[in-house]
Chain A
Amino acid sequence: MTTETVLPIDREAVISRSKQNNEPEWLSELRLEALQAATRLELPKLEKTAIRRWKLDAYGSYRQEEKLTSLDSLPQQALDLLTASEADTNLLVQRNAEVVYDKLAEDLKAKGVVFTSLSAAVRDHEQLVREYLFKAIGKDEHRLTALHAAYWSGGVFLYVPRNVQVEVPLQGLFIADEEGTTCAPHILIVAEDNSSVTYVDNTVSGPGVKELVHSRAVEVFVKPGAKVTFASVHHLNKGIVDISIRRAVVENDGSIDWIIGEMNDGNGLSDTTSILKGNGSKSNTRAVCIGMGEQQLDLTTRAVHIGKHSDSNMVTRAVMQDQATAIINGITKIEHGATHANGEQTERVLMLSPQARGDANPMLLIDEDEVTAGHAASVGQVDENQIYYMMSRGISREMAERLIIYGFLEPIVKSIPLKEVSEQLQKLVERKLER
């Protein structure tokens, strides 16, 4: 049953953009192959989310943005999200389709660290980019990855050479604030042997954007002994569908920490995977999510164990209000041969209204005997006795509910290793709950 799908992206536009950006031949070809594949590929199969009913055709068109020399012209709402004290360095800003600002501290440059837009890196660091781009995420896994591969623009290339420890977090800021314009950043991070780096990004939208598919792909390559912390918080408008696919490939004794904050107001597909390829590789995933209105969310955290003694821990907590729906999947896959692997996962959903829906689906898929694995999942309502207890001390119902929600998210927020991110997440949770 193959039907030619009408794509939201035009072939001529892909060709002309690739040309305009002076992209190497192989990349132009990759884009066109992906676009071709998109016509025959299906949407990803989501067990319980009717993604085909989502508005998935508003990819927008490419528009050039003016480069910025200072951050002053950016919306205050976006600037508030920058956390570091010297907010204008070690920062990259993408506005709609293009990176408009990027600045890396001189000392890091001197050490060989690269932190630049991916669209520039395909020319300036061509060999490196070519070696890794679309190697963790296949360009033709399903229609959404294919469309992303064909149409991504801007993005981040972060490269940390062997033995280099980047002590300060590098920040990304993504702003979608023009109706009808593409926002599809691709983030590629390569941490060489025994290096370490922390990357934090925020994604916001302007009030003018009524309809858009924000398409994001993140590929992280963690080489032997390297350590990468990746924190990402999305808070996009109601009309924006967020498709975010993140994947790390972790080699011997490497580790990845994922911190994911899903604070969007629109529908979202979020899929975060660690492929623990190396022996002794580790991953730690923490995700928080707040759903409201009629939002539909499909959140997956996944760990694939290939290496021996590999270790994964995944924790997701979601708060659902109004008529929001969340499908929370946790998948621990242990391949044959991954002896002494250990995989733990927990999914918890707190529902604040009788119309809200939350499904927690823990899955352990284990093809090896000598392993340990565990899961815990719960879906529950706010306990009226708790509300009564707090109210009997003079606290209003509203405040009591809020304390319970914060309390519910606290164990994750507290465990975030970056103080700035944890504080900011707290603020965003407040903002979203206060509306």
Chain B
Amino acid sequence: MSQSPTLVIRGLKASVEGKEILKGIDLEVKGGEVHAIMGPNGTGKSTLASAIMGHPKYEVTAGEVTLDGENILEMEVDERARAGLFLCMQYPSEITGVTNADFLRSAINARLGEGNEISLIKFIRKMEEKMKELEMNPEFAHRYLNEGFSGGEKKRNEILQMSMLEPKIAILDEVDSGLDIDALKIVAEGVNRMRGPERGFLIITHYQRLLNYIKPDFVHVMMQGRIVKSGGPELAERLEAEGYDWIKEELGIEDVTVGNDEEEFKVPMNTIAPESLMKK
């Protein structure tokens, strides 16, 4: 565990239904680092997250992704998770009849392997502690997985899962969408508590405000399915002040989107649009 993990992405290309969305991504995330991937909607950010995790809809056509030297692209989704990847999803599924607690315990035990299962007492204690930190109602442990949860509750639940599963590399896909400012702070604190040399983060967002609470070490901007600019935290600050236009001008890009993936544009029905979107 004390070993510092490394996620390496080289020349990653991926397509959805024959349309190429990722056009060659190179990125290295090490333990202790927080990388932010920013960019307007429809530029391939979420596709990157899904391709790394292995969503069946996304086909990787070129490049490689390794975690501590192991090729994760050859692994099934569950193997990737057990290898130490975690994706905090933008739209977590709802599953009737399976309680949050049962689900989490199954997930933890899947990771620990047969014969090393976590004891029930230890599990409950840990879950209660983490739920308290995230200011979640203890009842949620016994509710069906994400069923009837509000957008904010779902996101907190994703962070709860992350903190229980203790991944090596955590990818957060638009974790801030649909959160009010209080919930955003709680989620950010949850993430910050987990920062450390044994864990790297890849945080995908198109609103800078999340980065006021989770300070990134590196900031990358995605447009047209590529990382077009990388820098330190100062890059996020400039984006906050000036928006994306200056980068578009600098690079001569008119349309930042890629593949016209409609889903990227959708505001989910069950979440409230963040304030910054409402203003525009």
Contact = CB atoms under 8 A, between A and B. Distances in A.
Interface stretch (A77-85, A116-124, A210-218, A400-408): A400-408
A47 interface: no
Interface in B52-101: 53-56, 76-78, 80-82, 86-87, 89, 92-93, 95-98
A410 B111 CA distance: 25
A433 interface: no
Contacts of A74: none
A408 B97 contact: yes
Say which size band chain A's interface belongs to: 20 to 34
Contact of A392 (B87, B95, B96, B104): B87
A388 B80 CA distance: 12
Contact of A395 (B53, B93, B97, B110): B110
Given A391-B81, A397-B76, A399-B110, A411 B96 contact: yes
Interface string A46-79: 0000000000000000000000000000000000
B93 A404 contact: no
Nearest to A412: B97
A394 B165 contact: yes
B224 interface: no
B144 interface: yes
A393 B107 contact: yes
In this complex, which of B86, B97, B98, B104 has the most chain A Cβ atoms within 10 angstroms of its Cβ?
B97
A384 B54 CA distance: 13
A386 B95 contact: yes
Contact of B77 (A383, A388, A404, A408): A388
Given A390-B103, A392-B53, A394-B111, A404 B87 contact: no
Contacts of B95: 386, 389-390, 403-404, 407
A249 B152 CA distance: 51
Contact of B56 (A384, A395, A404): A384
30 contacts: A384-B56, A389-B89, A389-B92, A390-B95, A391-B78, A392-B77, A392-B80, A392-B81, A392-B86, A392-B89, A393-B103, A393-B104, A394-B81, A394-B82, A394-B111, A394-B165, A395-B78, A395-B106, A395-B107, A396-B78, A397-B76, A399-B106, A399-B110, A400-B78, A403-B98, A403-B106, A404-B98, A410-B96, A410-B97, A410-B98
Given A393-B110, A395-B78, A397-B78, 17 more contacts: A386-B93, A389-B92, A389-B93, A390-B103, A391-B77, A391-B81, A392-B53, A392-B86, A392-B89, A393-B86, A393-B103, A394-B110, A395-B110, A403-B98, A404-B97, A406-B98, A407-B97
